[in-house]
Structure 1
Amino acid sequence: MSTAVLRPETSPAEAGLAELTDLLFASLRRRDQRDKGAKYLRGLLTAKGRKSIRNIASVTGGSAAEQSLHHFVSCSPWEWAPMRRALAEYVHKAVEPQAWVVQSVQIPKVGEHSVGVGRHFVPHLGQTVNGQQAFGLWLAGQRVSAPVNWRMYLPGSWLDDSDRRRRAEIPEELPEETLAACAAAVVLEVAGWGLPVRPVVLDARSPQVRGALDTFAALGVPFLARIDPGDRLTVADPALPGYGAGALPAQHIMRSVSGLRRPVRWLDPSAPTPAARTSLAAAMRVEPAREPSRPAAAEGGRGRMLLLGEWRDPRRPPAELWLTGMGAAPPGALLRLGKLVRRVARDYRDVGEPSGLSEFAGRSFHGWHRHVTLASAAHAAALLGERR
């Protein structure tokens, strides 16, 4: 029997929640914890406005429930990893994902007391903001996606300050890591859960994130990464222009092979209703630009990859450039795989944010992880319920 208490007029989202509840809370030993978890999830789906503890409690028991729900999320000693693994198994069966999409999330904050808050440069805004930065791993298909794992980036200002670290209850064993290591870790954790591995799709235009590609390549994790037009690569195919010319900007390389472009149809999930689009795409073999002091023989051919370019207007430079180690995949399949980042962006905006993914207001490291885990479950319940 499900621990979720549903009203007679059950919405599709709540029906999805009822299906999820027993599976998610199997790792919670105490019944009172399972009851609080069900109330918290239901509150995330039904509370109006911000998903604060107070608003969540207002639809699940009022002020009497507020303190107990706060304790459940911020202080109660339950582990979020088993719940995320159960969620991932459920979503994998429901979505049949084509890719694991790594999404970088910036969560603006006022003040400096929320765990992980710092000054971060946001590329798409072109400015520095005050807030939290996290990476989410989404299981993504053409028509639906859902997050199943999260990792918060913690600046040195939080890890080196023992007082700050103690107040936020950041585990002592948690080391300082780069943004690239953080992005890689959110993937590798899921890879250890026994799910069928899918290609990892991520935006690596930021130099701080690009190092994650080295980790994936070293471990044999298939990836497709969007790169910056100015990133320098070397042409690996002797039959193509630019071979032997040394390191060249990726955009320059792709413009030189525009004659290889072929039309590719893809489904645009960012449109109000999914719409078919057509782009031109071409791919060629490349290698990372080598350090002058490093002999070519030292590479051993292990750095060879495929550079993919997409043109939406044949008269202009490529609109997007992608790098992958999946050299045998056809350009059309790779381009459609890359479009799953749009699926994730839309689902995050339309379902994830209303489900509370970015609205934890507490100061606890554990509290943030528990809240975002439950909000991910609410996202899955809402989205998969609406699909039914």
Structure 2
Amino acid sequence: MASELSSVPADPGAGHSPDRRRPVGSVRYPPLGEDIVGELCSLMFASLPRRDQRLRGEQYVRGLLSTPGRKSVRNIAAQVGGGSAVQSLHHFVAGSTWDWRPMRAALAAHVERTTAPAAWVVAALTIPKSGRHSVGVGRRFVPQLGQVLRGQHALGLWFASPLTSAPVDWRLLLPEEWTRDEDLRRRGEIPEGASAETVEQSALAVVSQTLRQADVTRRPVVLDVPGNWTDPAVLGRFARYGLPVVARATPGSRLLVADPSMPGYGAGPLSAEQILMSVRGLRRTVEWDDPERGTWRTSSAVSIRVATPGSPAGGDRRPLYLLGEWEDQWQPPARMWLTDLAAPACRLLRLTKVTRRVSRDLATVGDRVGLRDFEGRSFRGWHRHTTLASVAHTASLLTGPTALTALAEESTAFAGPARLSA
């Protein structure tokens, strides 16, 4: 495992401007047979024991990259293998026995080498479902939409920088009914060890999986999901992993002012919004590159040292800071973050903006390659499809937008390993 990270990361916004931004990797489609997609598939599928599995894996990834519309097995087969490939591709994803975890470890190591991530972002993925048969379907409140939504809910771990991001691991959030009901467990082929998890447990699990399995450098973890991130036990787990944390805080999060020179010190637990409003006179203007809009923007920010109520005094725990961001100086903070990174507010604010890169790449690349499109019903099938879609996402980033368009146009001419019969 690579050595632990310095407590203050490099500023992820330094050195970038919109007129200098360019896609990672080539934007010209390489010749088929010697292309980046084929090379990436060779690396990712090295853990598959059989040659036919490796060939079907490449076929599936090429289909995800080139199939228009919904990425069902039938549509993928029609695009890259013909009707005879439907059964074999369905079995490869839903019924085979290959383990997706080594593939995710290889993907994480590859994204680390090729994109130089500034942070690991834990982000939610919601997959609306109207039926009851897909594994893990349930009702959950989605803060981004402000409503309860029925569907599958997952957490993804993304390696992200201001220029690019890619998902490298996933955790499917199973409602309790799917883990208590033996019929549902059997129908969804849920492994014996899988159980219902809180958001905090799932975030810790997806991060620890990557640490255990992949040869990667520790980065700050940006928790872009609502959760009880003020819990000292949760923060302590990340600290033991050697991972700095930047976690979304809610206006009502209860915290203690830990700086004797600041308003509110000694006043007991206060809301995050109260604390930040009391120091709004210390705000500084921060310029940052918005990957969603492709422009430079400004907001104001301030950070203040805080502590969590009930946290043990002393010890080796790093100090905590509350970061607030304002878009309108006359309104309460638009966003709030809790972090154990001792860095200037401007640097911390720019680091949080990698979450916007993840949102943009999910919308423009991840959804295009079918991250939400698995139509099977099994737990293992969902994980295999999502892993292959993550490989396709990375391939599209490394080949560039022109390459992805060319792949869609020329996929029917692919007569190499991906053309398999049933």
TM-score (norm 2): 0.84
Structure 2 residue aligned with 1:242: 264
* SS of residue paired to 1:106: strand
* SS of residue paired to 1:72: helix
Alignment CA distance shift 1:286-1:181 (3 Å):
same
* SS of residue paired to 1:317: coil
Return the alpha-carbon distance in structure 2 between the equivalents of residues 69 and 16 of structure 1. 22
Structure 1 residue aligned with 2:130: 110
User: Does residue 262 in structure 1 map to residue 284 in structure 2?
Assistant: yes
User: Does residue 195 in structure 1 map to residue 209 in structure 2?
Assistant: no
User: Does residue 386 in structure 1 map to residue 407 in structure 2?
Assistant: no
Structure 2 residue aligned with 1:77: 97
Return the alpha-carbon distance in structure 2 between the equivalents of residues 209 and 28 of structure 1. 41
Cα shift at 1:203: 2.5
Return the alpha-carbon distance in structure 2 between the equivalents of residues 36 and 238 of structure 1. 62
Map 1:204-283 to 2 at 5 A.
204-207=225-228, 212-271=234-293, 274-283=294-303
Return the alpha-carbon distance in structure 2 between the equivalents of residues 18 and 154 of structure 1. 34
Residues 174, 195 of structure 2: 8 Å contact kept: no
* SS of residue paired to 2:151: strand
* SS of residue paired to 1:121: strand
The correspondence for 1:306, drawn from 311, 315, 321, is 321
Alignment CA distance shift 1:227-1:171 (3 Å):
same
- Gaps spanning 5+ residues in structure 2: where? 1-28, 404-422
Residues 103, 136 of structure 1: 8 Å contact kept: yes
Cα shift at 1:60: 1.7
Return the alpha-carbon distance in structure 1 between the equivalents of residues 388 and 307 of structure 2. 42
Return the alpha-carbon distance in structure 1 between the equivalents of residues 240 and 43 of structure 2. 35
What is the CA deviation profile of residues 325-356 of structure 1, one whole-angstrom value per residue up to 9, with x for unaligned ones? 11x21111110110110000000000001100
Cα shift at 1:255: 1.2
Identity of aligned residues (%): 53
Structure 2 residue aligned with 1:360: 374
Return the alpha-carbon distance in structure 2 between the equivalents of residues 15 and 316 of structure 1. 51
Structure 2 residue aligned with 1:176: 196
Alignment CA distance shift 1:24-1:198 (3 Å):
same
* SS of residue paired to 2:171: strand
Structure 2 residue aligned with 1:344: 358
Instruction: Tell me which moved more, 133-142 or 171-180.
Output: 171-180
Residues 288, 303 of structure 1: 8 Å contact kept: no
Q: Give the residue type in structure 1 aligned to 2:243.
A: V
* SS of residue paired to 1:114: coil
Cα shift at 1:209: 10
Structure 2 residue aligned with 1:88: 108
Structure 1 residue aligned with 2:413: none
Cα shift at 1:303: 7.2
Residues 284, 308 of structure 1: 8 Å contact kept: yes
Cα shift at 1:236: 0.4
User: Does residue 324 in structure 1 map to residue 339 in structure 2?
Assistant: yes
Instruction: Tell me which moved more, 314-323 or 147-156.
Output: 314-323
User: Does residue 371 in structure 1 map to residue 385 in structure 2?
Assistant: yes
Residues 89, 195 of structure 1: 8 Å contact kept: yes
The correspondence for 2:36, drawn from 16, 23, 33, is 16
Return the alpha-carbon distance in structure 2 between the equivalents of residues 213 and 121 of structure 1. 24
Map 1:136-175 to 2 at 5 A.
136-175=156-195
Residues 122, 225 of structure 2: 8 Å contact kept: no
What is the CA deviation profile of residues 132-167 of structure 1, one whole-angstrom value per residue up to 9, with x for unaligned ones? 110000000111000000010111111111122112
Cα shift at 1:218: 4.7
Q: Give the residue type in structure 1 aligned to 2:307.
A: E
Return the alpha-carbon distance in structure 1 between the equivalents of residues 230 and 306 of structure 2. 20
Residues 269, 343 of structure 1: 8 Å contact kept: yes
The correspondence for 2:139, drawn from 111, 119, 136, is 119
Cα shift at 1:11: 8.3
Return the alpha-carbon distance in structure 1 between the equivalents of residues 344 and 229 of structure 2. 29
Alignment CA distance shift 1:178-1:11 (3 Å):
farther
What is the CA deviation profile of residues 62-92 of structure 1, one whole-angstrom value per residue up to 9, with x for unaligned ones? 2100000000001111110111111111111
Residues 229, 235 of structure 2: 8 Å contact kept: no
What is the CA deviation profile of residues 110-136 of structure 1, one whole-angstrom value per residue up to 9, with x for unaligned ones? 111100101111112222111011000
CA RMSD of aligned residues (A): 2.1
Return the alpha-carbon distance in structure 2 between the equivalents of residues 204 and 27 of structure 1. 32
Return the alpha-carbon distance in structure 2 between the equivalents of residues 16 and 131 of structure 1. 34
Residues 170, 365 of structure 1: 8 Å contact kept: yes
Return the alpha-carbon distance in structure 2 between the equivalents of residues 305 and 342 of structure 1. 24
- Gaps spanning 5+ residues in structure 1: where? 1-8, 291-295
Residues 235, 287 of structure 1: 8 Å contact kept: yes
Residues 15, 381 of structure 1: 8 Å contact kept: no
What is the CA deviation profile of residues 186-215 of structure 1, one whole-angstrom value per residue up to 9, with x for unaligned ones? 111111223101000012434499775453
* SS of residue paired to 2:80: coil
